Chain A
Amino acid sequence: MRLSAENLGLERGGRRLFAGLSFTASAGEALVVTGPNGAGKSSLLRAIAGFLPLGEGRVTFEGGELEECVHYLGHADALKSALTARENLDFWAALLGGTPGLVAPALARLGLPHVADFPVRALSAGQKRRVALARLLVAPRPLWLLDEPTTALDVGAQALFGDVMRAHLAQGGVILAATHAPLGLERAREIRLEGARQIAFGDMA
């Protein structure tokens, strides 16, 4: 399994965000996209997910149909506030091709069993985020595209999610995450979007 991007370029509203961006990620690898606000981190993830048309370049994914192998976690939690956390996850498990048996372990993994049967509108922002993160576990998919995954999470939950990501990588998954905060992934490579066309590569310490 391998995700590769060649010469990606993207424009939003007539403004060029980046051009000539190439990278590859194989099984077990994590890439972290960093850069100032407005550099195009979210747009890059949305373009790879297929939600935005790519201006230039192409994304190839070896290992299956990209749409059915990818988890996208955006700024919005994609939860129905009238339904309970468990109902939301049951729905996503069925829609994304997971199994119902994974919902309870996913809730437990993210420390949510006690709020599983409350309507999502009664949960705090951090708890909603945890439910959204649990979605990654209810339907096993190899490629995770994470846009600011740790927003609103407390320190404990950030560490917990670090473990979840490391377990996913150990199972041969691929993570592409846009973030400002360190995610606790030791061997992640960095794609730094500098705004005006400059792209740097480096290793995350």
Chain B
Amino acid sequence: MRALTALYAREWRTARRIGGGASVGAVFFLILVAMMPFALGPDLRLLAKLGPAILWIAALLSTLLGLDRLFQADAEDGSLDLICHASAPLEAIVLVKCAAHWTTSILPLVVAAPLFGLMLAMDGPALGLTTLTLLAGTPALTMIGAIGAALTASLRRGGLLMAVLVLPLAIPVLIFGVAAASAASGGLVPFATPFAVLTGLTLFTLAAAPFACAAAIRGVRE
């Protein structure tokens, strides 16, 4: 347990000091959202209707930003080898690294989402539900992304390859996330059904992805 808290503290400190992670992700998120009205035109009703989908797509792309460095940075400086010799299991270590990444880089996006949603003319309930679905769904995106990050850890230019590997796997999360978020603004299904599936996807990836990541790290190292 001490090993895992020390790992979380190290990831947190590294992310805070190097910077880039949280702030750049949030700025990227803001830029994506701000560009949408320019592309779609000033029709407020259309923007409000598309709002949840826009926020979800923007969150998905921002999540990928920085995720490629999750294991690559440790692979480059030699830490990843030694982490395999830790007194804690590699699966638990992967889970803690993902938790640290989510709290430093993704949670700020979720917090900023209702603010940015205002720019899309979304009303109160829609903002609330979208933020709630992002809170429930982004851990799944992080865990799926971590599998791609583990597979490309030893590649110098693995970032784009990671995105190509991960984005198709993120489709179910996107479908149920947007379906639940749209419920407030006249979606096709009531909120509870897709939200339950979304939460289920998150729980499933939290349980399964650490094993996939650990297997990938053990398998691809040189």
**Are B13 and A97 closer than 8 Å at their CB atoms?**
no
Q: Bound state CA distance, A71 and B87, in angstroms?
A: 12
Interface: B7 (CB within 8 A)? yes
**Are A52 and B7 closer than 8 Å at their CB atoms?**
no
Question: Which of A29-37, A83-91, A161-169, A170-178 lines the interface with chain B?
Answer: A83-91
Q: What range describes how many residues of A lie at the interface?
A: 20 to 34
Q: Bound state CA distance, A96 and B83, in angstroms?
A: 8
Q: Which residue of A lies closest to B3 (CB)?
A: A95
**Are A97 and B78 closer than 8 Å at their CB atoms?**
no
Q: Bound state CA distance, A70 and B84, in angstroms?
A: 11
Cβ 8 A contact of B78, one of A52, A74, A119 = A74
Q: DSSP class of B's interface residues: helix, strand, loop or mixed?
A: helix
**Are A95 and B13 closer than 8 Å at their CB atoms?**
no
Cβ 8 A contact of A91, one of B7, B81, B85 = B7
Instruction: Determine how close the nearest CB of chain A comes to the CB of B124; give it in whole angstroms.
Output: 40
Q: Quick one: CB contact mask for B48-87 with A, threshold 8 Å, 1 for yes? A: 0000000000000000000000000000111101111111
Q: Hey, which chain B residues are within 8 Å of A79, CB to CB?
A: 77
Residue total for B at the interface (Cβ-Cβ under 8 A)? 25
Interface: A80 (CB within 8 A)? yes
Q: Quick one: CB contact mask for B1-32 with A, threshold 8 Å, 1 for yes? A: 01101110110011001100000000000000
Interface: A68 (CB within 8 A)? yes
**Are A50 and B84 closer than 8 Å at their CB atoms?**
yes
Q: Which residue of B lies closest to A70 (CB)?
A: B85
Q: Bound state CA distance, A93 and B7, in angstroms?
A: 11
Q: Bound state CA distance, A74 and B222, in angstroms?
A: 13
Q: Hey, which chain B residues are within 8 Å of A74, CB to CB?
A: 78, 81
Q: Bound state CA distance, A80 and B5, in angstroms?
A: 17
**Are A95 and B14 closer than 8 Å at their CB atoms?**
no
Interface: B45 (CB within 8 A)? no
B62-114 CB contacts (< 8 Å) to partner A: 76-79, 81-88
Instruction: Determine how close the nearest CB of chain B comes to the CB of A46; give it in whole angstroms.
Output: 8
**Are B77 and A80 closer than 8 Å at their CB atoms?**
yes
Q: Bound state CA distance, A92 and B88, in angstroms?
A: 12
**Are A96 and B82 closer than 8 Å at their CB atoms?**
yes
B192-222 CB contacts (< 8 Å) to partner A: 221-222
Q: Bound state CA distance, A112 and B135, in angstroms?
A: 44
Interface: A82 (CB within 8 A)? yes
Q: Hey, which chain B residues are within 8 Å of A122, CB to CB?
A: none
Q: Bound state CA distance, A196 and B153, in angstroms?
A: 32
Decide yes or no: A82 and B13 within 8 Å by CB, A52-B222, A74-B78, A77-B77 being known contacts: yes
